[in-house]
């Protein structure tokens, strides 16, 4: 994924003076200018199966950001397609009918996403790809974490843990995310880039790799069990593209009563933090979802108020066009920085993590 400085952006819809400063934080105080919206803002989320973050985090942080920007409940819509492209298309159409002029879309796949973008733009809406880039689509903006850099952190995290364990000639497996998801593709670019020298030199061997349709945890469990069967249980480390897939790896190893191996992840879910604290998962990668949703919400508010968008300082090639982009940087999460990152961001609480058999692994202050 290439980056370059955006030299200029066209003033959108209504010609008005830019508000606030150009701080890329895109804070709510900037967005809360009190100007009238040109129409409603809609957020189209993908599912709850690939990750619980969409409902537990993204929805909540969007609501908070819109309210902080001065919007009422009547000014925005948030829908979840529950994994069905036809439902997402219908939700987009309904949003347009209800007066949406800016739509933030997390597509289920680039084909259905591009169709939603085209139909919505023909109805006069400005389209923002949120979290997932719509390949060969016509989105006006893109807000996401840097997936390739996140993949690099995953690859390096696996190397660090294999080195720490002193594993000789490790055989590694890769469970890629959904093949229809450009974010998963960019993740794999990152970890393959980091692991390539090890694999090319023969220091590591690639035991198996496979993409998991729809990021589905049950399918991931079946796929990884097949990998174990094929390799006679000889897998020493796993790049799991997100925490849902990592949980499937851990479950498969535990079901076979095998020693746990270093496993990566992404999303910093409560379950992943439990695994990390207990030594069952090596690490996860975290983007501040609160920051991402807030920046995306404030971008949408600025557009809907006819203001010049702030904080857009990159661009990404989606295969058809370059899309003005706001990127967030990823962070590696291990035991020692959980409190300072995901807990401090109110993404996950200790109350969610420190339950059942995992409570004993939590910091003493979190158990009170």
Give tens-digit pLDDT for 183-240. 999 999 999 999 999 999 999 999 999 999 999 999 999 999 999 999 999 999 999 9
User: Averaged over 296-320, what is the pLDDT?
Assistant: 96
Scanning the structure block, which residue is given the tokens 């207990």? Answer: 278
346: three-class secondary structure by DSSP: coil
- Write out pLDDT tens, residues 164-182: 999 999 999 999 999 999 9
- Where does CATH 3.40.50.2300 sit in the chain? 28-145+288-328, 147-286+332-367
**pLDDT confidence of residue 34:** 62
Which pairs with CB-CB distance under 8 Å and at least 24 residues apart come from 8-11? 9/308, 9/309, 9/312, 9/324, 11/308
* Cβ atoms 107, 129 nearer than 8 A: yes
CATH class of 28-145+288-328: alpha beta
Q: What gap in Å lies between CA 294 and CA 291, rounded to an integer?
A: 5
Residue 20 has pLDDT above 70, yes or no: no
Domain 147-286+332-367 has CATH 3.40.50.2030: no
Residue 5 in this model has a pLDDT that exceeds 80: no
- pLDDT band of 368, cuts 50, 70, 90: low
Is the model's pLDDT at 97 over the cut of 60? yes
Give the C-alpha separation, 246 to 268, whole Å. 11
Number of other residues whose CB lies within 10 A of the CB of residue 126: 24
CA angle 1, 264, 24 (to 5 degrees): 45
CB under 8 Å, gap of 24 or more: what pairs does 354-362 form? 358/274, 358/277, 358/278, 361/274, 361/277, 361/278, 362/277
């Amino acid at each position: 994924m290439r980056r370059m400085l955006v030299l200029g952006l066209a003033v959108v819809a209504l010609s008005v003076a830019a508000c606030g400063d150009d701080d890329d934080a895109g804070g709510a105080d900037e967005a809360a200018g009190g100007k009238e919206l040109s129409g409603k803002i809609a957020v189209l989320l993908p599912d709850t199966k690939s990750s619980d973050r969409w409902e537990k985090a993204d929805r909540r942080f969007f609501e908070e950001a819109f309210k902080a920007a001065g919007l009422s409940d009547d000014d925005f819509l948030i829908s979840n397609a529950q994994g069905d492209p036809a439902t997402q298309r219908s939700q987009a159409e309904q949003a347009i009918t209800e007066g949406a002029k800016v739509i933030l879309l997390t597509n289920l796949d680039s084909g259905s996403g591009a169709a939603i973008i085209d139909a919505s733009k023909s109805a006069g809406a400005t389209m923002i790809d949120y979290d997932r880039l719509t390949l060969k689509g016509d989105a006006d903006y893109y807000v996401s974490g840097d997936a390739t850099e996140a993949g690099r952190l995953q690859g390096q995290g696996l190397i660090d843990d294999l080195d720490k364990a002193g594993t000789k000639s490790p055989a590694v497996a890769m469970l890629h995310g959904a093949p229809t998801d450009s974010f998963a593709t960019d993740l794999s670019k990152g970890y393959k880039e980091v692991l390539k020298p090890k694999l090319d030199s023969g220091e590591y061997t690639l035991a198996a790799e496979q993409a998991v349709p729809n990021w589905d945890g049950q399918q991931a469990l079946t796929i990884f069990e097949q990998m174990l069967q094929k390799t006679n249980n000889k897998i020493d480390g796993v790049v799991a593209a997100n925490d849902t897939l990592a949980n499937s790896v851990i479950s498969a190893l535990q079901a076979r009563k095998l020693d746990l191996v270093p496993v990566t992840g992404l999303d910093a879910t409560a379950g992943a933090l439990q695994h990390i604290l207990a030594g069952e998962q090596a690490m996860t990668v975290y983007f501040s979802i609160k920051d991402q949703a807030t920046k995306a919400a404030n971008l949408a508010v600025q557009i809907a108020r006819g203001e010049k968008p702030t904080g857009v300082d990159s661009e990404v090639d989606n295969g058809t066009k370059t899309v003005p982009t706001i990127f967030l940087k990823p962070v590696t999460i291990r035991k020692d920085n959980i409190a300072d990152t995901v807990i401090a961001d109110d993404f996950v609480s200790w109350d969610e993590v420190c339950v059942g058999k995992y409570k004993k692994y939590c910091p003493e202050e979190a158990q009170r």
